[in-house]
Structure 1
Amino acid sequence: MNLIIDFGNTSIKAALFDGPRLIETYTGISTEHLIKLSKENNPEYLIVSSVTKSQLEVSNLLGADIIYLSSSLPLPFQINYKTPQTLGLDRIAGIAGAQELFPNQNVLVIDLGTCITYDLIDSKNVYHGGGISPGLKMRFKSLHNFTAKLPLIEPTNEFELIGQSTKESILSGVINGMISEIDGIIRMYTDKFAHLRIIMCGGDAKFFENRIKANIFVAPELVLMGLNRILLYNV
């Protein structure tokens, strides 16, 4: 049994795998639940990706026999990135997850979380990089925080192209702007890479999956799948 843990910017996610097979996932769990999960399942292998806790903090919680994700860890793909040491761990794991789903294919991973990240791996298993832009909630917060009078708006499924109030205008600008961005980015990658697969993941993937023109595959557990793939590559 493998225990996979992702300490993200906003929550803790975990999963249990039997080899490559996903058994169960846990989203938004507490550290106490995580400790209990580890003790109850006594995993043979454990991998951690963390952007919020140090290795010392994690070791104090879960023990010492842990594989920690980093760009220097042996990976099942080649990194063609100028500054691999600055590459986000979630991006690394997402690419490994894309390999698991569509091996030896051109794949664009779009992760819709705190930020939007775009990541490209080609059919020769070379990771080329991608892009980073503000996520959905970040866009709403920035309009509120960097202006004197614009209110803080929560995302909603009810929005129009032409807003007829300040609230409606913000919803239109932010949500339609993101849709146009994603559609446009996909189009540019599709022009550059033949037979491109598109995978969408992250907390806002469900919100956008039916609003994007391209044929996309939504994989909510992509990062956890990728972490497990990297774990299996290292044991």
Structure 2
Amino acid sequence: MYNLALDFGNTAIKYGFFEAESLRKSGTIGQEQELALLPEITQIDNVIISSVRENIGKLSALSEVKGITITLNYQTPIPVKNGYETPQTLGMDRLAAVIGAKALYPDKDCLVIDAGTCITYDFVDNQHYYHGGSIAPGLEMKFKAVHTFTQKLPLVEQTSGPVKLTGRNTREAIQSGILNGTLAEVQGIINVYKEQAPKLVVVLCGGDAAFFETNLKQHIFVVPELVLIGLNRILNYNV
């Protein structure tokens, strides 16, 4: 059985082809029409779609799907207990990432950190109960905010290398404040969760996950395809 998981973001579409629970191929495309160019598309039995877009329309490339097609929403049956008080407002990518973490670490308390436009933290316990989490500005958003909401501070780009604690010019000072400040923020939140769950597993995904993997003083797991893995688990739960 072949599954296709699609994660529609604001600017790109991430896809993953799965055979049962095994990810066979993943990647990113820019337009819906590019799906038809993927040779694996003709083998698909079932599809699941998660989207932050208002309307994605009917995908012509999926017209020959043999099995089911699921557009994930808060009413879709899922293999965890959702304790979020307003499930209709919960981002489906956050939910999928949590379920992806449970697919990989079913018997562990998991903190899922998605380091993208926003940095989201989501906690799911070893009984498969999702408690909720928190949302904070991401790195790029912080760099843009410092420039946008001041008169003289420049727009500074993120650096991938080591960041000085004490900046000796304005560019370095902004980098230090945002990058070191956010590292301290993430580190602190992990530490608080570990007080509650000492055997906590921390799983990172998102565009800035590599930065945190390099610079955090914690044992963490970076899984770039975490959302896709979670989507596939939800799909298999519903087939």
Task: Give the TM-score band, short-chain normalised.
Answer: over 0.9
Structure 2 unaligned segments of length 5 or more: list them: none
Aligned residue in 2 for 1:155:
158
Name the residue aligned to 2:15.
Answer: 14
Is residue 2:78 matched to residue 1:81?
no
- List per-residue Cα deviations over 1:74-131 (Å, max 9, x = no partner): 0000011111100011101001100111002100000001100000000110000011
RMSD across aligned positions (CA): 1.7
Distance 1:43 1:150, change over 3 A: same
CA distance in 2, matches of 1:80, 1:176: 33
Distance in 2 between the 1:21 and 1:180 partners?
35
Superposed CA deviations along residues 151-182 of structure 1, whole A, max 9, x for unmatched, are: 11111134211111111111000100110000
What is the CA–CA distance in structure 2 between the aligned matches of 1:36 and 1:58, rounded to whole Å?
Answer: 17
Distance 1:35 1:86 in 2: 32
What's 1:195 paired with? 199
Residue 179 (structure 2) pairs with residue 175 (structure 1): yes
Q: Describe the shift of the 1:181–1:10 C-alpha distance in structure 2 as closer, same or farther (beyond 3 A).
A: farther
Give 1:23's aligned residue: 24
- Kept in 1, the 8 Å contact 2:47–2:70? The answer is yes
- Asked if structure 2 preserves the Cα contact closer than 8 Å seen for 1:93 and 1:227, the reply is yes
Residue number in structure 2 paired with 1:109: 112
Give the structure-1-normalised TM-score: 0.94
State the aligned residue count: 234
- Distance of 1:151 and 1:14 partners within structure 2: 36
1:227 aligns with 2:228: no
> 1:185-235: CA deviations, max 9, x gaps?
000000011311000111100111021111101101000000000000000
TM-score (norm 2): 0.93
Contact 1:71–1:92 under 8 Å retained in 2 = no
- Paired-residue identity, %: 47
Instruction: Give 1:38 deviation, angstroms.
Output: 7.6
Unaligned runs of 5+ in 1: none
